[in-house]
Amino acid sequence: MMNFPPRLLEGYKAFVHGALPRQQARFRDLAEAGQKPETMIVACCDSRAAPEVIFDSIPGEVFVLRNVANLVPPYEPDGAFHSTSAALEFAVQALKVKNIVVMGHARCGGIGAALTPMEKPLSPGDFIGKWMSLLRPAADKVAGYDSMTASERNTALERISIRHSIDNLRSFPCVKILEDKGRLSLHGAWFDIATGELWIMDPATGDFARPILEGAL
């Protein structure tokens, strides 16, 4: 207990004296009735881009999956261990979510690693390198855009990867069938950490644009 991070204990203390009393009834309902989120969000595990904070969500409202660079791998029922695919399967088949949002973000380190692979892996397993190889063809193409700056290439691949993950979502039979029936919608979004801007992908064109918010300055 004494080695537990002090900042987390401070945060928990604030939760006990703040959010918990205000939402005690909701927590009891969630414990008894279970979770029934309508939206799954596939986001990056980067600590600066937390979906629950960005969308001001309350407990039980969104089902969040976070991994390096918010990637969705293709459907591969090969008997191996697939954390992202397992979470996706649970959200679609068990929770019956109505929306899946793939949300990327600016200055993504995983995307940067895909564009500029390290000479030596961080560990003998090279887990990051293997994971980011999902984007290898697109990364190689974007890396060759000499007329773009490094940050422009990063942004380009961050958004391309979102479209790529949405395509991979459709390789899962359960996702494709429900989308075709109009019971599941797929969305893309990109968050700028520095400005707080959210960009939404147009499903028809793949372009990203900022949504018009009522009452926004």
54-106 pLDDT tens trace: 999 999 999 999 999 999 999 999 988 999 999 999 999 999 999 999 999 99
d(CA 113, CA 120): 12
Domain 35-209 has CATH 3.40.1050.10: yes
> What mean pLDDT comes out for the span 31-45?
97
Distance CA 54, CA 48 (A): 10
In tens, the pLDDT along 130-170 reads 999 999 999 999 999 999 999 999 999 999 999 999 999 99
Number of residues in the chain? 217
User: Which pLDDT does position 1 carry in this prediction?
Assistant: 57
User: What whole-number distance in Å separates Cα of residue 70 and Cα of residue 163?
Assistant: 11
Alpha-helical segments (H) within the chain = 6-17, 19-22, 24-33, 51-54, 83-89, 109-115, 127-132, 136-143, 150-169, 173-180
Burial of 87 (0-12, 13-18, 19+ CB in 10 A): middle
Look at residue 66 and give its three-state secondary structure: strand
pTM of the full structure: 0.94
- Give the residue extent of every domain in the chain: 1-34, 35-209
How many angstroms separate the Cα of 105 from the Cα of each of 164, 204, 207?
Answer: 15, 21, 15
Distance from C-alpha of 153 to C-alpha of 108, rounded to nearest angstrom: 11
